[in-house]
Structure 1
Amino acid sequence: MCSDEGDVYMVNDKLREIEREYGVKVLYACEAGSRAYGLWNEASDYDVRFIYVHPLDWYLSIDEKRDVIEMPISDQLDLSGWELRKALHLLKKSNPSVLEWLHSDVVYDEDEDFMNTLRNITQTAFKPIPVLHHYHKMAKRNLKELGQENEVAVKKYLNVVRPFLMCSMIMKFGQFPGINVQYIVDQLIHNQHLKEELKYLLEIKTCRPSQTKIDRLSRVDAYIEEQMEEIELYLQDAQGERTSITEELDVFFRNTVKKYEKLE
């Protein structure tokens, strides 16, 4: 799913500028952050993330070269990309940032053949245990920041809830889920009272300023407590996978670089 048509044109114009300025090909560009999570409001900025490839000669060097492109355009638009080899190296380790990019519903641009292959590889590359550890640590850190006050900021509340929801989906389905929070709530939460409280949080986040405060919600707090215990028990017994997809990623990398051997 794409964002509004005007947003797509705006972002694509900036991506073409990056291609011309840096001599690269953008293979995939998506929204990250609140807009990808379905938690945006009118004040939310655009966090565009992309994967790009250089011409073949760029890779035939003994020197290490910069493998990121960062271009903050304005307070409302930030573009940041990773070079293909860096992105695949991180995907091999089930890096959650790369996984979230690849599961974003808001896609601005993509090489269809490239992404069809990469999405298939992603299913094989996914290792649930390190990803669970990542979101579990994120939830604990954000819970500490949330504090014990009776009145809390909705944004901080959701910063605790979202990683717990991600963990729940991974433990239940064994795959990396979509990252739209509304979708996860609909798929995962069957307790109607809890679902109503979560949807209330989502409504406040998308309709009011991000720092809007509300009274703590009893069922949401209970869910957070239950999930903390459940995830910790799950990780105690979990064993990491030892399968390697290096060869498959190497072939994919070489084929992609050869395809864009010369960029015009």
Structure 2
Amino acid sequence: MIEVEHLVRRFGDRAVLDDVSFDVHRGETLVIMGGSGCGKSTLLRHLIGSMKPTSGSVKLFGQEITAMKEREVERVRLRFGMLFQSGALLASLTVGENIALPLLQHTDKSGDEVEEIVKRKLEMVGLTGFEDLKPDEISGGMKKRVGLARALALDPELLFSDEPTSGLDPIMTAVVDQLTLKLTHGSHMTAVVVSHDMTSAFRIATRMIMLGHGSIVAEGTPDEIRNSANPEVQQFIHGRADGPIPLNLSQDKHKDHQLVRPRPFLGGRFRFHHKRP
């Protein structure tokens, strides 16, 4: 479903991604982990087509996206959902309007059909009846679940999640993890999750890769990662301050290279249901 081959991304003379290669198979949950500055967020930007590599190849659904024009990439994006770290809800819209956005932008469904899908997606994430609330009226964990419902609005084959449990308490983390497991096991969806939450990662992953210095330093099943002899892996998964991983500044926070955000939707509740030109 995803093929990454010899991916390189440089900022000046610094290689943030250095010859990264891996595959993601249909129906699995791949967790990409690593410390701040290891390149995992930069890698995610390449996977969703919002950043072009210095060299190398990224294929989604068998299609090479690195050379695509933006309109071509947009068509590919209709086949996957994206759960942003913050939820990325539009504060001026209700919960229901946020979830309806992709349906209103990309389908010809009627207002009644859109409302029914919104209700169904909210029920899926355990938020039945929350359509008319604003984002500032719900908790952080609820915002994550609304973001997940929006990511699922078009019934994607593939779900990308950027730090889905960041900032959540242990109970809400478990809730979000259970939703991910329900989707991947029950709906046979493929998921790629960027995370440094080891409890969550080991709970949901079928396979894991760890980035370090812009390269893959470990890859395997959760048990293989847990039992790895690599000292960098052991330092990271156990959260030890001492070890081969240095403390450094993040290489991922380049303000000019941000994840694609949802485009604003203006209008009343589910009123506009034409395709975006």
Q: TM-score range by the shorter chain?
A: under 0.3
TM-score normalised by length of structure 1: 0.26
Larger Rg: 1
The structure whose residues are more often helix, as a share, is 1
TM-score normalised by length of structure 2: 0.25
The structure whose residues are more often strand, as a share, is 2
